[in-house]
Each structure stands twice: as structure tokens, then as C-alpha cells.
Amino acid sequence: MTTDINKRSTLKMLGAMTLTGAAAPFAAQAGSCDHSKVQWDDTYEVICVGSGFTGLAAAIEAKRKGARSVLVIEKMPYCGGNGVINAGQACFADTPLQKKLGIKDSAELMVNDQLKAGRGIASRELLEHNAKLGPYAFQMTKECGAVYLDFCQQPGGHSAPRSHQVVERSGAGIIRPMLAECERQGITVLTRTKFDDLLFDDAGHVIGVQVTKGHYHDRPALGKPAKLRAAKGVVMATGGFTQNIRLRMAQDPTLTEEVVSTNAPGATGDGLVAMMKAGANPVHLAHIQSGPWASPDEGGFGYAPNYAIFNFPHSIAIDLMTGRRFMSELADRKTRADAELQRRDAKGNPLPAILLTSKKHSSQNQHSLDNVLEAKVGWEFDSLEAVAKHFDIPLEPLKAQVKEWNGYVSAGKDTQFGKPMNLTKGKEMSAPYTVIRLWPKVHYCMGGVQINTKAEVIAAASGEPIPGLYAGGEVAGGVHGVSRLGGCSIPDCLAMGITAARSIMTA
């Protein structure tokens, strides 16, 4: 594996851009050239732009399908993007682990859950494609060296336990083995190599990429331009744009710089902008998801999400003003994030809710509990009185709510908010307690460029694929609709990376 140096650049404004006319003229504007006359710095059969789950899966699958030379480029000084900082939980349906645990699940059931969260605009075709590829993608990560815990969790919005988590409890537990596999397969990986633009021939076919090698964000003059030829195709795996405040505010003006993002600093939308400039059809850009498991007491992704995701099934979210629950703790992400954002004091200022859990239950995942306590984003209390005093919660309503909740646990039915109770049996709440605060963080862009089930990027003007251009993961829109279910990003990224490679190698 070869390593070079590069970092992200500040995203330039789109400027005047129209999405009318034929696809080829836009390609010409993006960087049209006669490849026979270009001085290429290097040539590869397949170039993957981005080193997260999509880019690495595409690279590995391309090699498996016979590609002689594959390149992965990454603008940051490290690989993985958001993949290395997430919770390492991936939802696959009908896997050997689920069967071993006696869990009944299917691709169809998973797709139905996703369609419900997508609120009518998710792509059934793409979701079905990804779900059916799930077991293969899961097995690919294991063959690369990923090791999973011997249980499955049930994130919010899912109707079965299908979240498979690596032992590291971080996406790095998948990214690192995939990078090691790239090295074993002779795949070239260049870091600090900033993607600048797509290069097209006069017929509108993608034939390569313009990059800056040795790029540093704070020292751009040090970088050197290079043209890299892709003889068979380019896979755009550049992720979302939650760190590009101007671009995200253009879609949702409420997502100002005051709203923190969980994403890596490189999530600035460079690849998305380049593809739209080249005529790709943008879809669902205004649907930007916030994570309801985040804590206002830590920056970035942090420790709270892993803790919260594990404990939501047997915990209750409490409004500090009322001492009462205000949502189903296992609703889909958008439902919970919207509900959490409504927690305000009498003057309308944010008043983050708390997630209340019995320590005997939270300690069943001792690793995540220790993390939040040591990072001081979690607390431990001996009584409800101590909880109420610390967070200034009315005590009697809080006591009544806990008693009411325990009744739901005993009965196996939540008549308050309809929360699924299949994972709460025998888990009545009692002292001592552990607590974290909840406040959403911008997490995922549902919107991106339109793709089909071959991972081909679709032109806005013609509705036809842009030849030689493929995309997957967060940079591709329309897959999840209004809201993505938790744990469904990794399988989406893997499936579309695999699909892109197969499409390129059979074209």
C-alpha cells in the first residue's frame, strides 16, 4: 500500500449553476479533454475517491473481479472518514449470527422498516438491492478481518435485533481490516490527495480525476496538481456535507454554525458539488438528519452515542421541566431528534433531556458505561431524589413516571408511547441509576446525487447514467428518504461500493 499526503480544502461556492441542457456540455464545463493528448501523471483501471466503507469495498471488490490496478485517494492525513468515528454498528438481515441467536429476520422486513422511516420518499428499489447484498457485505468485512460481538442490538425504528457490532465498538474495527486487505491485494491508497474535479472526454465519459497531491488545508501552496486516469471508471465515495455550513444552511437554514456535527472534518461535500457541476441529478438535499443519541457535553461523535444506543431499549428519556417521558426511546431517529429539540425552558432556551437507566442494566455494557463516566458526560446516582436535585427535575412526577414505566415492563406493553418492549422483559428500573444528557447533533445527509441499482450516477438533463461515473454511500441521495434508520449507513456504503466495482468490471 502506497501512502501520499493531502488534506481537505475549503469548499468553494457553487456560483452560477444550471441543471438544464444535455449531459455532455456539462461534462465539458467540468473538465473536458482528449485523453490521448493529456499528460497523465498515473493511470489506474479503477479510481475510488474516498477511503470510507464505500471506497474500500469498491476497491476490494474490483480486485476480486479482476482489476489489475486500483487506486483509493483520501484528502485527509488518515483514512476512513466518518467510518472510523462511528459506533461500528451495522444492520444486516438474515445473517448466520442472527440465526445462531434465534433471531427471525429478512431483507424484506428490514426494507419495510426503512421505508417507514423514509416517510414515503425512500427508494424501495435501492433499499432492496442493498438489503439483499447485506450478507455478502457482512462476510466481506469478516474475511478482511473484522470481528463482531456475539450479540445483535435493536436500534430505534427496527422491528428485529439486526445491528452487528465489532468488538472495538467503533467503525475503525471494519476500516482497519479493510485497509489491511487493500495492502494485501496491492491496492494503492494515497492520503492527503485532494479531489478537485472530474475529467471527461468530449463524449461526456468520465476518464479520470484532477487532484492535488501533498495538500495541506492551511498551506495550499505546498500542494501539486496531478491528473489521474481511470481506464474503466471512477467511484465517488466522498460522503456527506454536514461540515460545510454554507451548503447545509442553503438546504436547511436552521442548521447554523451553532449546531455541532458528529462528522469528520473532511465531510465538506467536494465530491457532491463536482458531480452536480457535471450535471448529476441532486435529490433530497434538504433532508439532513440529526442523531438523537448525542450528548451536548462532548464534542464530535463522542462516547454518548454508543452508550445511548445500547441502553435506549430499557431506559426512559425524561423532560427536565415535567419529570415525564416525552417520546418512545426506540422511535426512528427523526422522531426522537425532533422531540428532543422541543425540550426548552420557560424562556425557550434549550434544556437537554436526560436518559435515565438502572446501573444494573447499563453495566451490562461496562465498556460504554466506563467511557461516559470517565469522560464526565455521564453521571451515577444512588436515588431518584439525587437525580432530581442534580438536574432540577420535579421529584414527584419523576417518581410517578418510573413507577408507571415499571408497570409497562411488567405488562410487556408501553401504553404511553408504544415503545417496543421485546428487549425490556424483566428489566424494571431501580436504584442506583446512571444518566446522560440528550441533545441531537447533525449527523447524516440523506440527499446527494441520484444513482441506480448499478451505482451509476444519473444525469439531470437526460435521466441516463453519466458514463464512467459511479457513486455510493452518503454522497448518493434518494436511498433513505426523509430519515435513515440507525445502523443502515455501513451496509448501504458497503453494498454500493461492491455494486460499483461489479458494474465497472462488467461494463
CATH architecture of 23-82+176-289+444-506: 3-Layer(bba) Sandwich (3.50)
Q: From the candidates 333, 343, 484, 502, which is the catalytic residue?
A: 333
Where, residue-wise, is CATH 3.50.50.60 in the chain?
23-82+176-289+444-506
Which stretches of the chain drop beneath a pLDDT of 50?
Answer: 1-29
Q: Please indicate whether residue 437 is annotated as part of the active site.
A: no
- Give the separation between CA 492 and CA 90, rounded to whole angstroms: 9
The 3-class SS string of 270-287 reads HHHHHHHHCCECEECCCC
Class of domain 293-439: alpha beta
pLDDT of residue 257: 84
Where, residue-wise, is CATH 3.90.700.10 in the chain?
293-439
Q: pTM to 2 decimals?
A: 0.83
Nearest to 144 by CA among 86, 64, 220: 64
Beta strand segments in 53-133, E = 70-73, 89-91
Task: State residue 68 phi and psi, 5-degree precision.
Answer: -80, -35
The C-alpha cell 452518503 sits at 474
pLDDT of residue 17: 32
pLDDT of residue 251: 96
